[in-house]
Chain A
Amino acid sequence: MSRYLLLFLINLPFILVAMLGAITQYKLRRSTRQKMIARISIWLIVATGLALAQPIYDWLFSHRLTQTEPLSLFDVVQITGIILVFYIANRTRAKVETLEKRLQDLHQELSIKLSTTRDANVKR
């Protein structure tokens, strides 16, 4: 099997899961249509880049724009690793942001409740 095809097939599940995640978030009304389109577009660009890796390399090589060796097995592992890290980093960022927002809301509510309760006790 071609290494370029292997690279595409290994990464395809991550890309599909990420795109499915974007659609699910939109369908569950946790995200806007604009956000969903942006996320799907980003992953489509990644998928297109992987699918066209060989023609792009051939074109660059034939026009003397690159002198690197063709894709090795190590490259396949490395690129897959980068895409996986990008996927995990983005999920983590989204989760941290949600937690940050919830913490802010908690702090806000607690501050209002504590201040009004204290005032009521002082009046009593």
Chain B
Amino acid sequence: MSSTASKLRVCIVIPAFNESSVIGGVVKDVVKTFKNTSYSTEIVVVNDSSKDETADVAKRHGATVINHILNTGAGGATATGLSYAQQHNYDIACTMDADGQHDSQDVLEGVHQIIVRKSDLLIGSRLINNQGMSRVKILGNKGLSFITYVLFGINSTDSQSGLRIYSRKALEQLRWKTSGYEFCSEMLWRAKQIGLTIDEYPIKAIYTEYSKSKGQNNWNAVNIIKSLLKRRIAELLG
């Protein structure tokens, strides 16, 4: 990966937990997509204390690996990756799922879009064009987006999307407290609180048998809602 001073520096963060069978392909794909672009990129895999070979496989394919000492959940791993990007002065950071659900071309498109739109936080929405998504997934994601709207007043078509692009300003200012999957909604809330501009762009979701088996169960939405409610009440009590 090149590192010319004039090039815009982009950090691609991939939080991963027990993804050794697919992480290599995901990293390889991102490297290939960003190879002949005008961006200077680094791929950072945050290994959330996996029990398998995730870290070794990711490193072999050219990623920088940060090993979590303890398993914290998707929110904690994402926070670590973005903190790394901030400490290493990246201009833009992206987060994407490790299960191969996201197309690396969509990540590249997101980087272009955030520069053009001058947004602080850009969300890749799977629901603007939801072809290929099962009805259950659509219902679950729409339900959580509605809950996010009710609790935090944020109108997002896909509040749970893992593909997000962050500006330098977002990297410096955006912080959240939850460490599980509920961080997706909380992050939007915090972004709104500190006055960041939030935008969306359409992406496609690739559902393989593997990503379906690793993806979120709709019942997990109950836990997410409980946690968000707790967070909302705790915020009021100080």
Chain A residues near B (Cβ < 8 Å) = 22, 25, 31, 35-36, 38-39, 42, 90, 93-94, 97, 100-101, 104, 107-112, 114-116, 119
A108→B80 contact, CB < 8 A = yes
- The contact of A38 among B67, B87, B236, by CB within 8 Å, is B236
B234→A112 contact, CB < 8 A = no
- 9 pairs, CB–CB < 8 Å, chain A vs chain B: A35-B235, A38-B237, A39-B238, A104-B76, A104-B79, A107-B72, A110-B69, A111-B46, A115-B67
**Which residues of chain A have C-beta atoms less than 8 A from B65's C-beta?**
115
**Which residues of chain A have C-beta atoms less than 8 A from B179's C-beta?**
104
- Expressed in whole angstroms, the Cα–Cα distance for A111 and B82 within the complex equals 13
Which 5 pairs from chain A and chain B are nearest by CB?
A38-B236, A115-B66, A108-B80, A39-B238, A111-B68
A101→B84 contact, CB < 8 A = no
Distance of B23 from chain A, by nearest CB (Å)? 16
- Expressed in whole angstroms, the Cα–Cα distance for A44 and B56 within the complex equals 57
- The contact of B69 among A39, A100, A114, A116, by CB within 8 Å, is A114
- Expressed in whole angstroms, the Cα–Cα distance for A42 and B236 within the complex equals 9
B177 at the interface (CB under 8 A from A): yes
B237→A42 contact, CB < 8 A = yes
**Which residues of chain A have C-beta atoms less than 8 A from B80's C-beta?**
108, 111-112
- Expressed in whole angstroms, the Cα–Cα distance for A107 and B83 within the complex equals 12
Chain B residues near A (Cβ < 8 Å) = 46, 64-70, 72, 76, 79-80, 83-84, 87, 177, 179, 234-238
B177→A97 contact, CB < 8 A = yes
Distance of A85 from chain B, by nearest CB (Å)? 14
Known: A97-B177, A101-B177. A111 touches B238 (CB 8 A): no
- Expressed in whole angstroms, the Cα–Cα distance for A115 and B177 within the complex equals 23
Distance of A39 from chain B, by nearest CB (Å)? 5
**Which residues of chain A have C-beta atoms less than 8 A from B46's C-beta?**
111
- The contact of B234 among A97, A104, A107, by CB within 8 Å, is A97
- The contact of A22 among B66, B69, B70, B238, by CB within 8 Å, is B238
- Expressed in whole angstroms, the Cα–Cα distance for A114 and B69 within the complex equals 9
B72→A104 contact, CB < 8 A = yes
Known: A101-B177, A114-B69. A39 touches B237 (CB 8 A): yes
Distance of B172 from chain A, by nearest CB (Å)? 15
Closest to A38 in B: B236
Closest to A91 in B: B238
Most buried by A among B72, B83, B238: B238
- The contact of B87 among A31, A97, A112, by CB within 8 Å, is A112
